Structure 1
Amino acid sequence: MLIASDKSGPQPHPHSLLEGFKITIEECGLMELDLTGGDFTLEKSKGTINWVRECLDRAFANAHWWRKFPLCKLSVSHTIKSDHDPILLEPVNVEFSRKQFRFKFENTWLHEPNFKEEVSIHWREIPSLHLLPKLLSVTTFMARWGRIFFHKFRDKVKKQKTTLDSLVSRGDE
């Protein structure tokens, strides 16, 4: 636990223990990974006066690890078999060679009706507080969006060429 709101129920954790844990994390140069899928990983005695919910499980990483896996996902998976929910870490390695991943922004995308709105929505939906993962995620989103746009654009060009070819071969005025 890092903060008092990480626990709901009787007998809060002593403030001195929470502060000691925070100090240790800072001294080790670690940053916490954002947990999605719920605020708590332990729940017991539900429906009683002793109902306790806590975020016991966390993941931390140093700067080197963050540079290698800035798009990682940490999520809680809920189970009915236990009072303790497991967490799943999905690291996404972004150490690409230049040939593997080249992102090029196309100004023509700005003229598409939904582009700015879709990028804004994607930016706001990313839970990470760190700028690099957000930028990488939005860049990946725009690259994917651009590939879809390109295919649609290519299909439009083919259709127009077919129409043009049929008009050129006509004999009337």
Structure 2
Amino acid sequence: MTNNDILRRLRYTFDFNDAKMIDIFKQADHEVTREQISNWLKKDDDEAYVSCGDTSFSIFLNGLIIDRRGKQDRPTPEPDKKITNNIVLRKLKIAFDMKNEDVLALLSNNGVSISKHELSAFFRRTDHKHYRPCKDQVLRNFLQGLQNKYRPSSAKN
């Protein structure tokens, strides 16, 4: 999945308008314009489409965590230079204050069955012997589970 795909899904799931998207970036001490947001959200075949870079997307996820959980006393975390599905899953889990059981339930409701051990492997350091990369299918089903939970009316469509 691309950063733009995930950004579009999150915007739709939580019905964020442009002002809210700009505010989420601002939460992480980063300024973006309405035009930047608009270009990131366009379809891939649109000529005005602009790819959302890893750093920008990481800033958005950090801002989402701050928006959902509140500002901490410590400084805003540095954005990741390279973002993976594992990092996206971890940051969304943090933003929505989910425990492993909550993540497993969202996945299970979408027909994906993984064990607690498989899930914890996604959150390990990359150099750990039990680390496992999170595949697009798992992240896609997690995002679909978020959508079903936070925007249930769309699940019927």
TM-score by length of 2: 0.24
Q: Could you say which structure has the larger radius of gyration?
A: 1
TM-score by length of 1: 0.23
Q: Which has the higher contact order (CA 8 A, sep 6+)?
A: 2
